């Protein structure tokens, strides 16, 4: 048994020798066990939590032969285009740039809960109702400009994951009409 | 008096067995914990709410970051045998010779950022010297001298040789990195028909 040897009887001269021999055999292990468990906790947490997280990203195949023949025309009511600009700015529109859907005219927004996510969540629900087909959900086209940072890209991909957008794509070519928007944002 | 004695007995417990178990577990966790080597190119990854973990093997990591005011790209593959095989392929391509000892040393390097011409010096260096400023300028990846592309290609080949599996790619970019820098790497991967890859991110708070 490990018990605390207080040595309160050590002051007596009679059995002093015998008592001190006995006390050497027992060590208080409480502090040692405390320390051991503290270290165990530390190592357990560091081994399991240190693994880096990652985000899966699948891009469309970039083979050169699909120029005109395989170009698919998508229903404009389903597409939301998000342009990522410098200084964490966002511009987005629903539908086509010149003839946007109701409430979908080009406008600025921000990342996160109060910004783009509200609009996306609304449209994730509304688009299948408009098209009348559950399979035809929202399509988000992400267009990062040259001034956008990597953090912006990850943030917007994260929004896609949070809002459970069924289809999204990163598109790099920006037509002249949209370029105007971009210049306005990045100036 | 009997009552007092009873209570005295119950306060002390034999801790020997508990201590044994605790230290056994402690030893186990210490040994299984892999010491985290200092990263040659430290980057501040952007955070996300997605919680997929990176695989432990069959993975190549491309680190894009800024150090000493310059954009740098570092490259690393998981698995010592794969590293060796990849270096052998690269040596063939760049007409260089590596001894067995050098191959062995190279297989211990997690990530590196030197052109092929400087690889021998890097291997000869001590572990602590490799992370010093100015030692590793990054793997060349411009259109004139695209060694990164070769590294990607040959490490894929090496992984198929060693593990009979397709190599996965992860891009670890600094959050402040501009998009074109990342796009360059993505394009390079896509040119080799790698359309699926991972972006390394940190953890974000729940109520983001």
Q: Do A29 and B15 touch (CB under 8 A)?
A: yes
If we measure between CA atoms, which residue out of B155, B151, B183, B149 comes closest to residue B168? B155
Interatomic CA distance for residues B105 and A2, integer angstroms: 50
Distance from CA of A73 to the nearest CA of B (A): 23
Residues B14-18, mean pLDDT to the nearest whole number: 85
The reply to whether A44 and A80 lie within a common domain is no
- Note down the domain range covering A131: 76-186
**How many structural domains compose chain A?**
2
| ipTM of this complex | 0.76
Check if A18 contacts B (Cβ < 8 Å): no
Calpha distance A130→A124 (Å, rounded): 11
Report the largest interatomic distance among the alpha carbons of chain A, rounded to a whole angstrom: 107
Instruction: Judge whether A56 lies within some domain.
Output: no
- Residues A92, A33, single domain; the answer is no
* Digit-coded pLDDT (tens) for A43-102: 888 776 666 778 888 887 776 655 544 556 777 778 888 888 888 888 888 888 777 777
Quick: pLDDT tens for A143-186. 888 888 888 888 888 888 888 888 888 888 888 878 887 887 77
Chain B interface, mutation test: which of A31, A38, A46, A52, most B Cβ atoms within 10 Å? A52
The pLDDT-based confidence of A11 (bands split at 50, 70, 90) is: very low
Domain residue ranges in chain B: 47-203
Same domain, residue pair A125 and A38:
no
pLDDT in tens, B110-160: 888 888 888 888 888 887 778 777 788 888 888 788 888 888 888 888 888
- In this structure, of A28-37, A104-113, B28-37, the range with the lowest mean pLDDT score is B28-37
Say yes or no: A41 and A101 in one domain.
no
- Going from the C-alpha of B153 to that of each of A26, A38, A138, B160, B182, the distances in angstroms are 65, 46, 36, 11, 18
Do both A110 and A168 map to the same domain? yes
Q: Which residues of A touch B176 (CB under 8 A)?
A: 149-151
Nearest CA of chain A to the CA of B112: how many Å?
Answer: 19
Least-confidence region, from A19-28, B72-81, B160-169: A19-28
Task: Please state the pTM of the whole predicted model.
Answer: 0.75
Residue at A172 is within a domain: yes
A46, A83: one domain: no
Asked whether residue A86 falls in the same domain as residue A126, the answer is yes
**Residues of chain A neighbouring B50 (CB-CB closer than 8 A):** 53-56, 158, 161
A80 and A46 both lie in a single domain: no
Q: Which of residues 115-134 of A touch B (CB under 8 A)?
A: none
Give the distance from residue A175's alpha carbon to the nearest chain B alpha carbon, in angstroms.
Answer: 18
* Residue A85 belongs to some domain of the structure: yes
């Amino acid at each position: 048994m490990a018990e605390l040897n207080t040595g309160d009887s050590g002051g007596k001269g009679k059995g002093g020798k015998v008592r001190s021999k006995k006390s050497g055999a027992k060590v208080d292990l409480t502090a040692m066990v405390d320390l051991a468990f503290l270290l165990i906790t530390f190592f357990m947490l560091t081994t399991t939590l240190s693994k880096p997280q990652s985000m899966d990203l699948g891009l469309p195949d970039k083979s050169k032969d699909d120029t005109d023949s395989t170009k698919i025309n998508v229903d404009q009511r389903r597409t939301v285009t998000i342009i990522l600009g410098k200084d964490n700015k966002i511009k987005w529109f629903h539908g086509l740039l010149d003839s946007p859907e109701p409430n979908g005219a080009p406008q600025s927004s921000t990342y996160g809960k109060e910004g783009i996510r509200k609009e996306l969540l609304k449209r994730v629900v509304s688009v299948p109702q408009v098209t009348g087909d559950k399979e035809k959900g929202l399509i988000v086209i992400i267009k990062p400009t040259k001034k956008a940072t990597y953090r912006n890209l990850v943030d917007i991909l994260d929004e896609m994951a949070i809002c459970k957008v069924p289809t999204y794509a990163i598109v790099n070519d920006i037509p002249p009409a949209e370029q105007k928007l971009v210049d306005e944002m990045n100036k | 008096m009997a009552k007092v004695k009873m209570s005295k007995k119950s306060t002390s417990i034999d801790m020997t067995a508990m201590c044994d178990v605790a230290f056994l577990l402690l030893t186990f966790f210490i040994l299984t914990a892999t010491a985290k080597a200092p990263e040659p190119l430290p980057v501040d990854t952007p955070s996300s709410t997605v919680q997929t973990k990176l695989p432990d093997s069959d993975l190549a990591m491309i680190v894009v970051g800024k150090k000493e005011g310059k954009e740098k790209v570092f490259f690393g593959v998981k698995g010592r045998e794969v590293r060796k095989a990849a270096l052998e392929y690269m040596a063939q391509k760049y007409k260089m010779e590596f001894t067995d000892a050098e191959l062995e040393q190279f297989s211990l390097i997690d990530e590196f950022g030197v052109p092929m011409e400087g690889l021998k010096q890097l291997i000869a260096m001590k572990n602590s010297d490799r992370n010093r400023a100015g030692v590793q300028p990054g793997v060349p990846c411009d259109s004139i001298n695209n060694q990164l592309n070769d590294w990607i290609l040959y490490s894929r080949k090496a992984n198929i040789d060693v593990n009979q599996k397709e190599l996965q790619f992860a891009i670890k970019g600094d959050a402040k990195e501009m998009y074109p820098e990342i796009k360059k790497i993505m394009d390079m991967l896509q040119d080799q028909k790698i359309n699926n890859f991972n972006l390394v991110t940190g953890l974000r708070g729940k109520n983001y």
